[in-house]
Amino acid sequence: MRRSGRFGLNQQDSFCVYGAPSVELATVPAGAVQVSPLIPGAAVLEDIAPASLSAMVVAAPPGTVERRYVLAQALRALKPGAPLTVMAPKEKGGARLAKELQAFGCAVEDIGRRHQRICHSVRPEAPTGLDAAIAAGAPRLVEALGQWSQPGVFSWDRPDPGTLLLISALPALSGRGADLGCGVGLLAAPVLANPQVAHLDLIDIDRRAIEAARRNIDDPRVAFHWSDARSAPALEGLDFVVMNPPFHDGGAEDKTLGQAFVRRSHQILRKGGTVWLVANRHLPYEGVLTPLFAKVALKAEAGGFKVYEAQT
């Protein structure tokens, strides 16, 4: 499967895939262009010219507003009559897929297999309701955050209580640092409030979060990275890392993801550098922090969250 940056698609590029549909449930040709915002380097679905794609397969996201936005963008990009296959686990939006596609004017064949609903359809000549679904799922300034955000991004319309606890516990940091899994950039403002901070790398695997963070933070000390923080960008010798590590991958709880973030923070810090992190109380991060770091201290605990400071 090819991945690409922002560019126009040519003839042979005109099959797109969103996410990772099960290979047993849909056929995706080897040259299909990936358009999921959660896969760094993927093409941008929103940039694809209207009525230009020959076919698309979508592994639909779980959030209703986000999913309807993706379906509307897919129908906008497909040529009239071009096939659209959409699938989702039954309990994560799959049960609603057929109705959602019908509301856009699609005739749908809805099949159940392996706990998923799979909907086969074609792009109608004149789909209905695309503009409204695209407007409902588009980036916007969210009052409760005072920040740009978008449905589908982590805690997109309200600050996460764990993030707020970490902000309340953070000291004035200094030197060069990074925020692994930065989201729309809520941690960046308090970090950058200290003029002693020389540079901050903001890293997230979600393109929408990075695009929102770019709008939210206008500071020459910041670099933005749409990448998997477990491996990229190349960083070393940092003075500090801040993070509210992810604990879900593809909708399922995944403790190993947060543990990988802890290991990566250790790898990119200088000797004596510190990581500040917040985690749900039930997540087993102490077991990873203690053998790696010279000092580990619990700095705050409230509302089911714990904040740790760990020094290399």
Minimum CB distance to ligand SAM smaller for 119 or for 307 = 307
Q: Look at residue 66 and give its three-state secondary structure.
A: helix
- Please identify, among the stretches 47-55, 73-81, 91-99, 199-207, the one whose residues bind ligand SAM according to the rule CB under 6 A: 199-207
Distance, CA of 138 to CA of 1 (rounded, Å): 27
Encoded one letter per residue, x for contact with ligand SAM by CB under 6 A and - for no contact, window 92-121 reads ------------------------------
Residues 6+ apart with CB under 8 A from 252: none
Using alpha carbons, list the distances in angstroms from residue 272 to 52, 159, 258, 261, 282. Answer: 54, 31, 22, 18, 28
- Cβ atoms of residues 247 and 257 within 8 Å: yes
Minimum CB distance to ligand SAM smaller for 84 or for 170 = 170
Residue burial 194-223, b: 16+ Cβ < 10 Å; e: rest = eeebeebbbbbbbbbbbbbbbebbeeeebe
- Cβ atoms of residues 85 and 15 within 8 Å: no
Before 233, cis peptide (omega within 30)? yes
Minimum CB distance to ligand SAM smaller for 40 or for 127 = 40
Residue 228 is encoded by which pair of tokens?
Answer: 């998997």
Minimum CB distance to ligand SAM smaller for 33 or for 38 = 38
Instruction: By CB under 6 A, name the one of 100, 206, 239, 309 that touches ligand SAM.
Output: 206
- Please identify, among the stretches 107-115, 224-232, 266-274, 293-301, the one whose residues bind ligand SAM according to the rule CB under 6 A: 224-232
Residues 6+ apart with CB under 8 A from 289: 262, 296, 308, 310
Asked if 204 interacts with ligand SAM (CB under 6 A), we say yes
Asked if 230 interacts with ligand SAM (CB under 6 A), we say yes
- Please identify, among the stretches 99-107, 110-118, 154-162, 304-312, the one whose residues bind ligand SAM according to the rule CB under 6 A: 154-162
Minimum CB distance to ligand SAM smaller for 127 or for 183 = 183
Using alpha carbons, list the distances in angstroms from residue 261 to 215, 235, 289. Answer: 25, 13, 11
Distance, CA of 121 to CA of 55 (rounded, Å): 10
Distance, CA of 143 to CA of 214 (rounded, Å): 17
**Residue 68 C-beta: closest distance to ligand SAM, Å:** 20
**Residue 307 C-beta: closest distance to ligand SAM, Å:** 12
Asked if 309 interacts with ligand SAM (CB under 6 A), we say no
Distance, CA of 94 to CA of 91 (rounded, Å): 6
Asked if 209 interacts with ligand SAM (CB under 6 A), we say yes
Instruction: By CB under 6 A, name the one of 69, 154, 240, 305 that touches ligand SAM.
Output: 154
Minimum CB distance to ligand SAM smaller for 83 or for 159 = 159
Instruction: By CB under 6 A, name the one of 121, 216, 244, 312 that touches ligand SAM.
Output: 244
Asked if 226 interacts with ligand SAM (CB under 6 A), we say no
- Please identify, among the stretches 2-10, 123-131, 138-146, 183-191, the one whose residues bind ligand SAM according to the rule CB under 6 A: 183-191
Minimum CB distance to ligand SAM smaller for 73 or for 150 = 150
Tell me how far the alpha carbon of residue 2 is from its chain's centroid.
Answer: 20
Minimum CB distance to ligand SAM smaller for 123 or for 225 = 225
Residues that bind ligand SAM (CB under 6 A): 154-155, 160, 163, 181-183, 186-187, 203-206, 209, 228-230, 244, 246, 257
